[in-house]
Structure formats: C-alpha cells, structure tokens
Amino acid sequence: MAESVEIHAKVGAEKVSRAQVVAWESHRTEAVLRKFASRLGRRAWTELLPDHTLGDMVRSPLEVQRLTLTTLKSRMGHAGIYAMLRHELTLSEQMARFGVKASRGRTKHSVTHLEVPGYSAELFADWFNNLTVANAETDMVAACPDHYLLRGRADGCQEVVETTGGSPAASRFVVDYGQTDSLTIPITPGYPIQIAGRALLDDGLIIGGVRHQFRDNNGALEAKLTVQFPGTLPAKLIREHQWHLAVEFSNWIIAAAPVAATT
C-alpha cells in the first residue's frame, strides 16, 4: 500500500497525524507477529514462512510486515486460525455475553473521523461494499494487523475474527448489514451514505453494531466511523478501537485509490 494519499484523522475528539496512525499499526503488527511465533512454535512457523524468521520480520519495514502477516494468516487457513485462537474466542464470547447482560441496554461508541481530499464518498463506499460481496478476504484481512478472518457468508452476513481495540482476547462475531434496528448510533444529518448493521453471536445475541457514514464535502471524502459496544466496556478499549478504525479505514482508503480518487 503506497503512502501517497493525504488522510486527516481524528481519533475521538483528538486530531492525530498519519505518522501516529502508522505508529499504532506498527506496534500492533509487531505484537501480532510475536503472538503467532509464540503460538505456532519454531517448526510450524518455518513450515508456513520458510524464508522469514521472527527477527527478520520485527526488523522489516511495516509494508513488508503487513504482507508477511497477511500471507501467514492465509496459509494457516480458517481452520488454523480457529485452532490457534480457540481459547481466546471462548473467553471473549463469555465476556461479550456478560457485558451485554450487565449493560442492561446501555451502549458506548467508538468514533473516528477521516477526511480525504480528492476522494469520492460514493466510489469508496461502493468499493468497500464490494469487499464483502466479492468476498475479498485478503483485502479485508490486510487492512489491520488485528484482523484474523473476515469473510462473506452465504446469508449475506460477514464473519469477523479480530482483536477489538486493546482487548486481551480476539473475538468472533457476525455482522448483519441488513438489520439496524438495534443500533443506538444516530444517523448524522448530511451524511447520505450509510454502511450499518448489527453484530451478533451465532445464537442471535446482539453484542453491538456499526454505522459508518460518508459524504462529499468541498472535494473531499468525509467519513464518520462508529462502532457500538456494550456499556460496560472500559474506556481504554473504546479508545483503542478508535485507533483500530483509523488504521483499517486508512489502509482501505489507500487500497481504493485506483477507483475512488478523483484527482
């Protein structure tokens, strides 16, 4: 992914530089690489990445780390990802169920704003929606080191396995983009493009949701990216997921440049 796109980010209420967003991504990338090395062990790592040691990866530029980490996840396959994260996924599901029950309907929101001069909101939203429609798993996973598995399902929903913000455990859930009635994230006037849906577990328990809103303003794409969580989620995790949003959508915006850039 080239770094030629101008992206202005606001994490919560704080304006942050592109360098700060990249630094957060770099920190998380190294953490995830070390996690894979620890869980897989030397033999499995060598089988999957025969030409790369962990030391090589830690010293490599972020662009190389992104590619290698995405390759590693792809070579492990869905079953390998489930197996490596099985204890975390069990723990995070228990935490999600407890959080929903304890919150008693209260919710919290992680909000990140991005502004991209010379980009079309409609063209980017179409490109982004097509990732799920076309089941472009590599593009979806590559956008953030904390993505482990993102894929479209036959029912039109999206399965997600990721580390949410600064959570100690990866989580698995399904996003149903056809249902928004459970969202407490308000529709912001003046943002005509909405990508929204509820997040749920396999038995239908609603644990949150997303509402990503886009508009064109003076020749720039403006994005208001929001994720809904149970109200008991600690403020630190809400804050960390704002950085997660800044990283993944910045990288998707860069990847979409061939079709979404207007200048």
Domains of the chain: 8-18+87-260 (3.30.530.20)
Q: In angstroms, what CA-CA distances link 178 with 65, 68, 123?
A: 35, 34, 21
Give every residue of the chain whose pLDDT is below 70, as ranges.
1-3
pTM of the model: 0.95
d(CA 261, CA 255): 10
Assess contact for 242 and 109: CB atoms under 8 A.
no
Query: CA-CA distance, 126 to 28, in Å (whole number)?
Result: 28
How confident is the model at residue 1, as a pLDDT? 42
- Read off the amino acid at residue 196: A
Cα dihedral sign, 58-59-62-67:
negative
So what's the pLDDT on residue 165? 77
Q: What's the token pair of residue 130?
A: 């097509």
Helices (H) and strands (E) in the chain, counts: 8, 9
What is the residue-averaged pLDDT of the chain?
Answer: 95
Q: Identify the helix (H) or strand (E) that includes residue 97.
A: helix 86-103
What local confidence, expressed as pLDDT, does residue 126 receive? 96
Rounded CA separation 125/193 (Å): 8
